[in-house]
Structure 1
Amino acid sequence: MNPPDPAQRLYNLASVQTDMSFSLHPESETLHRTQAVGGGADIDISGPSFDFIRSIDVFQVSIRQSESDKGECNRTDFVRHGTYDEIGQYNWRASSLGALPLAFRGEERYGEHCPEISIRAVFVDWNDHQGRYGFEQVNY
């Protein structure tokens, strides 16, 4: 069995699953709701010199708000947060709008009356090895 092409694999990994786990093919990792991805780092990264790796935060964000024909405000939001642990294992977990870093842009008017909002984004922030803060937001 041939593995899926890289673009399809990324799409599969990023999609939200309703079942508890799925497998891409027998040789791949299995993803779960707490989605540990891979086996961790192949070297010991538990020391303070690797704090910059553990400082990486990834947020997958989807926010929608609009007024219905009946004048009701329809709101949906989905946020998940990805981090690295002490052994370099990457994990996803459910999160919330309140957990988004202050640098995230797009949700400022969410919950305010009912302006139309539609945001899908990946937001990554980190502190580099010198402790300097950085971030990138990609809206799609």
Structure 2
Amino acid sequence: MTPKKLTRRLVMSCLLAAGLVTGSGKETLAGPGGAPIDCAILLCLAGGWPSSPECSAARAEFIRRITPWPVEPPLQIWRCPLGASAPSPAKPGFRSRIFEAAMRSSSAASIVSPLRSPSPEQIAAQIVQANQADIDISGQEFNFVRSIRVYHVEFTVRKERDYCGEHDATRVGTYGPQGEFSWSGYSAKSVPTYVMPRVHGCPDGRGRVRAVGVEWKDYEGNIGSELVRY
């Protein structure tokens, strides 16, 4: 099986696990709480956003979340019910672990409702309140989750009489060992140049940059990014 076919199979498994594919074959990706689509975001991101309807919808939601306002974590892994697995001496690879978790969740979901999507209450019951993954993702095979960076730039520079006045409220969003997301202060002058060009000198008048940039690496280490200006 080719990597693209394997990735699509894994995506569909997680869609099944989240109750996104019903007995009629119709698919719905984004509910009011955003819970189902995060399984697709996780796997499509890992696979380098392969070409498929599921991954196109997942990527659109990934970018929508960083579009102000508010700026949200683009991947909310705690909303993907992967299911806990018992530790073993030899850790299986990423694809094996994610597929096993998806299959376990899919079997449980089919018992509850094999022909219809789960109710909002059932989905809510699957969401981990601790805002982190419900399986151990501390291994290097999940480094692609921790590679995500969200740069929220709010920078203003204005020439005064004898000095250059700056206001910088930039922050960066990062992911922790178990996929927990947090914001911290950052310097606009340190963000990648695709988000904001380097500032040289002081403009005649006033300059302002308001933008959100997101970057990531897929499972193979390939780099990607998107920018939203506002």
TM-score (norm 2): 0.41
Q: Write out aligned runs for 1:88-99 (5 A).
A: 88-99=179-190
Q: Matches of 1:58 and 1:12 in 2, distance apart?
A: 13
Which structure: larger Rg? 2
- Whether the 8 Å contact between 2:157 and 2:202 is mirrored in structure 1 is no
Q: Matches of 2:227 and 2:130 in 1, distance apart?
A: 24
Q: Matches of 1:48 and 1:57 in 2, distance apart?
A: 17
Q: Deviations over 1:31-60 (max 9, x none)?
A: xxxxxx952112211112111000000111
Match of 2:101 in 1: none
> 1:118 offset after TM fit, Å?
0.9
> 1:134 offset after TM fit, Å?
0.8
2:207 to 100, 117, 122: 117
Q: Matches of 2:184 and 2:165 in 1, distance apart?
A: 25
Give the number of the structure whose residues are more often helix, by fraction. 2
1:80 to 159, 171, 190: 171
> 1:93 offset after TM fit, Å?
0.8
Q: Percent identity of the aligned residues?
A: 33
1:63 to 155, 164, 169: 155
- Whether the 8 Å contact between 2:195 and 2:212 is mirrored in structure 1 is no
- Whether the 8 Å contact between 2:188 and 2:196 is mirrored in structure 1 is no
**1:138 and 2:205 aligned:** no
Give the number of the structure whose residues are more often strand, by fraction. 1
- Whether the 8 Å contact between 1:38 and 1:90 is mirrored in structure 2 is no
**1:41 and 2:133 aligned:** yes
SS of the residue corresponding to residue 52 of structure 1 reads: helix
TM-score (norm 1): 0.64
- Whether the 8 Å contact between 2:157 and 2:207 is mirrored in structure 1 is yes
Q: Matches of 1:79 and 1:112 in 2, distance apart?
A: 19
Q: Specify which structure has the bigger relative contact order, considering alpha-carbon pairs within 8 angstroms and separated by 6 or more residues.
A: 1
Question: Structure 1 pair 101/118, CA: closer, same or farther in 2 (3 Å)?
Answer: same
Q: Matches of 1:124 and 1:45 in 2, distance apart?
A: 21
Q: Tell me the number of residue pairs that the alignment of Structure 1 and Structure 2 aligns.
A: 109
> 1:138 offset after TM fit, Å?
0.6
SS of the residue corresponding to residue 87 of structure 1 reads: coil
- Whether the 8 Å contact between 1:64 and 1:75 is mirrored in structure 2 is yes
> 1:98 offset after TM fit, Å?
4.1
- For structure 1, the residue ranges without an aligned partner over 5 or more in a row are 1-5, 15-36
SS of the residue corresponding to residue 51 of structure 1 reads: helix
> 1:104 offset after TM fit, Å?
2.2
- Whether the 8 Å contact between 2:133 and 2:179 is mirrored in structure 1 is yes
Q: Matches of 2:226 and 2:130 in 1, distance apart?
A: 24
Q: Matches of 2:149 and 2:170 in 1, distance apart?
A: 12
